[in-house]
Amino acid sequence: MQKKEQSSRQVVMCYLMNTMGVDLDKARQLISDLEDSGLVRFDKKGSINVLLLEG
């Protein structure tokens, strides 16, 4: 994992921890679940791609 990708992932983890009040392990699990489902993707340049669902 590149430094920029790791940094983006850490920003999202901190956001989840602050907003949702979850601990680090739960934030990691949430990110993993979001990536597995294709809702979030971190690219090598450090960008965060979020799938927007409209209905």
User: What are the tens digits of pLDDT across the range 2-49?
Assistant: 777 788 889 999 999 999 999 999 999 999 999 999 999 998 888 999
In whole angstroms, what separates CA 53 from the centre of its chain? 17
| Boundaries of every domain in the chain | 3-37
Burial class of residue 27 (count of CB atoms within 10 Å of its CB; 0-12, 13-18, 19+):
buried
How do 48-50 and 40-42 pair as beta strands? antiparallel
